[in-house]
Each structure stands twice: as C-alpha cells, then as structure tokens.
Amino acid sequence: MSIHLLLVDDDRTFASLAATVLRHEGFRVTLAHSLHDARAALARQAPEVVVLDRRLPDGDGIHLLPELRAQFPDTAVMMVTAHGDIASAVDAIKQGARDYLSKPVELDDLVLRARRAAADLQLHERLRQAESELGGRRRLLRPRAPAMVAALQMIERIATAPRSPVLITGETGAGKEVLARHLHNVQGNQGPFVHVNCAALPSALVESELFGHERGAFTDARAARRGLVEVADGGILFLDEIGELPLSLQAKLLTFLDQGAFRRLGGTTELTSNARVVTATNRDLTREVAESRFREDLYFRLSVFRVEIPPLRQRREDVLPLAESLLVELCAELGRRPVDFSSAARARLERYPFPGNVRELRNVLERALVLEPGPALELQALEPRGPLGPAATDPDAFVVSGTRSLDEVERLYVKHVLGRLDGRRMEAAKALGLSYPTFLRKLEE
C-alpha cells in the first residue's frame, strides 16, 4: 500500500528536505505552501496522510481541518504547532487532528509519526478487507417489506429448535445464504457454518466430500479424511442447491438426518455429528419428486421448516436500503471514497425489476463504481423499462411481449444472455449468477 502524504508548509527549504526524506521512506509526497495550494492539491487527489502547518501565508491551517474531516473522514491529519503551544495542539486534536508536531520539526520524529499513521491505515484496511471477505456480502440488513419481515421472524422462531432441518426456497440471488447465516448467528452456534454448493461438488467425489473417507477407500485416498458433515459438528451444514445432490447420496443424507449418524466412505465405524442441516434451492422440489429426480422421503424430512424468500421485485421497500448498504461495502472493497446515488439513479433503482435479485443489484453497483467516475452514481445502465425489459432502443434490450409464465420468461432470458455473449456458456452462467452445472441443466431443459 503506497501512502499518499500531503505536506502543507510555507518553509520551502524544510518542506523540500522533508519531502525527500519521506519519499525515501516510500511515501508519495505532494507539497503545498499555502491554504490555496492545499485545497487545489486536495481537489486533484485525496491523501491518506496530511502534515499541516498552522502558520500559513493566507491563514491558519486549522481552518482546513473541518473541510478535511467532511471530505476525507479517513485521512490522518498531523498538525504542526509552535513550540510549547499546548493549547493550540489540544485545539487541533479536538477538531479532528490525529497527532501534532512541535516546531522546529525533527525529521526523525516526522518520519516516525508518518510511519505510525501509515501502519494504522494499513491495519484498518486489512481489517476492513477481512470483514468484507468474511461477511461483507452476507450481512443481513433488517428488511422493511412485510413478506421478508415474516420470513425473518420465522427464521428467528426456528432458531429455538436447533436440530430440526430447514429448507429455504427462493429465486437465484434472493439471499438464501444470508438467511441461513442469520439463523446460525441467532441460535448462537458454537460450531462452524459450513457452506456446501451441491452443484459444484465433483460427482465422483461428492460422497467423500460430504461424509469423508478412510485410507484406501479409493485410488487417491492415501489418508483418512473428515467430511464436511463432521466439520460442521455443533454448527450448521448449509447445503446450497440441494436439488443437484445425486440420488445415490440422498439416501445417505436421509439416514444422517434421521439418526445423526453416518459412515465414512470405505469405513465400518458409525460416527455422529450434531450439525443442523439447512438446505436451499431455487428449484421446485415437488416437481423434482414427481419426476423421480428427488426422493420424496428426503423432501419431507428436509422441509420440517420451510422458509420462502420473496424475490426483490416483490419487496420494493428494501431496494434502496439494500443498495445503500451494498454501496458502502463495495466502496470499501474497491478502495473508492464513499459516493452516493443521484436522484435519477434512485428513481432507476425503484423502477428496475431486478430479475437477478440482490446478486444482480450488487453486480450493477460494482460495475457502476468501476465505470462511472462521477461523485454521484447515475446507474445509466438501468434505463426506464417496462415490467420485464428495457426500452427497445437499448441494444442489450430484453423485451417480452404479451403475458407469459415465469418459466417461459426465464428460458427466453437465458437464451437472450447467451446470444449477447456469442454463445460463451461460462460467461453466460456468470452473468446470470448461476453455477456452471446449473446453467447447463437449464440449457438441457
């Protein structure tokens, strides 16, 4: 992380010498010799650290502090005060300065304090990134839409029955994992939250991944290995896209749900795990059962508690709060200063149907943060559109005429996206927010 430092001092000899020393320490230094120069420098680029003298030709440097705090709240400001002027130093700290230096400034002291500020900034950035990676995309924002409020209340009641299976249904990208993690937090599990995407498990290794194996169980099994069912002991085993689980494994999962017991692949010893099984799907499992692709007894066992997440288009009250929350997270992840939505962008967010749900909303915001340089996002990609598609003048338009079933609209949209990407299947799957196996299954259908 290269730290940009703005040094504001009218003593040109000291400023030049200090800049040379700081650059040697790895800082990117910008010099300013007045308040006017400092404001011009701030307009060009935001610094991480500012060293600001109080006595400047065109005013008191402390008058710049409120502007710095308002525009760049994360910037570390070090005020330079007259020797022995404790009142001045205290005043600077009260107004938001991080530190102060007394004149005459010792270069060793300046470097030490600048290094300390840089280390604090880097630590803060690492913590922010770690928070984002661990939970930034999975935090639950308290909903306003009645249907989502009801789903959340049900999850919180279910938390009082810590062993019972839960089935969470809803469209792709609606937030099924977020709700599962909220259940884990609410019921106060000491054990881990283990997320398994059933569609992504290699078909030849799915049993080993879930239930583990003993040494020699198959050719490459050189040592015994715990499965994810064991790893999740005392916590939650979240089986996402449960409809993709092979029939051959469904019976073994049913046994585990009924008895809490299982055997590793190639093993004879019965093991136990106290993991709660939470499953999720965007498929109609009753139809899968009717077509013999999913066991009926497993379906009934998994759906002791069933929670349905409504699509984002049916909870319009949550769109703007979600967008604002996601925007804060994405700005932190991308290292961009906080931005807001323009009034036009807010109107577009309120109109857009978001067929890809919260996942699509996040993707739209991430793309806008990268491509739109302005201080306020316009979200011009979300042009005014009809119920199911943008204006026909848009070359990327997906327009559906007449009244059609959701299944038919989905098929048409998949075909539309595939066409726009010149048949590149993996890119189309990513654009739709689907795993590649799920995308291939939709193509077969």
pLDDT tens-digit readout, 182-231: 999 888 766 888 999 998 887 778 899 999 988 888 877 777 788 899 88
Higher pLDDT, 321 or 393: 321
CA separation for the pair 412, 396 (Å, rounded): 14
pTM summary value: 0.58
CA separation for the pair 155, 168 (Å, rounded): 10
Half-sphere exposure of 165 (CA within 13 A, CB side): 20
CA distances for 266 relative to 203, 221, 232, 274, 395, angstroms: 17, 10, 21, 22, 56
Q: Which two tokens stand for residue 130?
A: 């770690």
Q: Which two tokens stand for residue 279?
A: 């499953």
Where exactly does CATH 1.10.10.60 map onto the chain? Answer: 389-445
261 pLDDT above the threshold of 80: yes
Percent of the chain with pLDDT over 70: 88
pLDDT at 392: 39
pLDDT tens-digit readout, 268-310: 889 999 999 999 999 999 999 999 999 999 999 999 999 999 9
Task: Say if CB 35 and CB 59 are below 8 A apart.
Answer: yes
| pLDDT, mean over the chain | 84
The CATH topology of domain 389-445 is Arc Repressor Mutant, subunit A (1.10.10)
Count the Cβ atoms, other than its own, within 10 Å of residue 79.
26
pLDDT tens-digit readout, 238-256: 999 999 999 989 999 999 9
Q: Is the peptide bond before 104 cis (omega within 30 degrees of 0)?
A: yes
**Burial tier of 227 (Cβ tally within 10 Å: 0-12, 13-18, 19+):** buried
Bridge partners for 272 per DSSP: 261
CA separation for the pair 290, 292 (Å, rounded): 6
Higher pLDDT, 148 or 444: 148
Q: Which two tokens stand for residue 304?
A: 């002791």
Where exactly does CATH 1.10.8.60 map onto the chain? Answer: 312-382
CA separation for the pair 367, 144 (Å, rounded): 26
DSSP-H helix ranges across 190-284: 206-211, 228-231, 247-259
Which DSSP helix (H) or strand (E) runs through 362? Answer: helix 357-371
Parallel, antiparallel, or unpaired for β 99-102 and 76-81?
parallel
pLDDT at 44: 83
136 pLDDT above the threshold of 50: no
DSSP conformational letter for 389: S
CA separation for the pair 277, 167 (Å, rounded): 9
Which DSSP helix (H) or strand (E) runs through 8? Answer: strand 4-8
* CATH no. for 4-135: 3.40.50.2300
pLDDT at 86: 73
Class of domain 312-382: mainly alpha
Bridge partners for 385 per DSSP: 390
| C-alpha of 436 from chain center | 21
CATH number of 146-310: 3.90.320.10, 3.40.190.10, 3.40.50.300, 3.40.50.1000? 3.40.50.300
Parallel, antiparallel, or unpaired for β 55-56 and 59-60?
antiparallel
Q: Which two tokens stand for residue 103?
A: 């004149």
| C-alpha of 345 from chain center | 21
Q: Which two tokens stand for residue 350?
A: 């309120």
Which DSSP helix (H) or strand (E) runs through 332? Answer: helix 319-334
pLDDT tens-digit readout, 7-38: 999 999 999 999 999 998 889 999 999 999 99
Where exactly does CATH 3.40.50.300 map onto the chain? Answer: 146-310
1 pLDDT above the threshold of 50: no
Parallel, antiparallel, or unpaired for β 271-272 and 261-262?
antiparallel
Find the mean pLDDT for residues 103-121. Answer: 86
Give me the residue label for tokens 């504001």. Answer: 8
Parallel, antiparallel, or unpaired for β 49-53 and 76-81?
parallel
Percent of the chain with pLDDT over 90: 41
Bridge partners for 101 per DSSP: 80
DSSP-H helix ranges across 187-284: 206-211, 228-231, 247-259
Q: Rounded to the nearest 5°, which phi and psi values hold at 30?
A: -115, 135
pLDDT tens-digit readout, 39-88: 998 888 878 899 999 889 999 888 898 888 877 777 889 988 876 667 77
DSSP conformational letter for 400: -
Task: Say if CB 350 and CB 179 are below 8 A apart.
Answer: no
Find the mean pLDDT for residues 140-148. Answer: 86
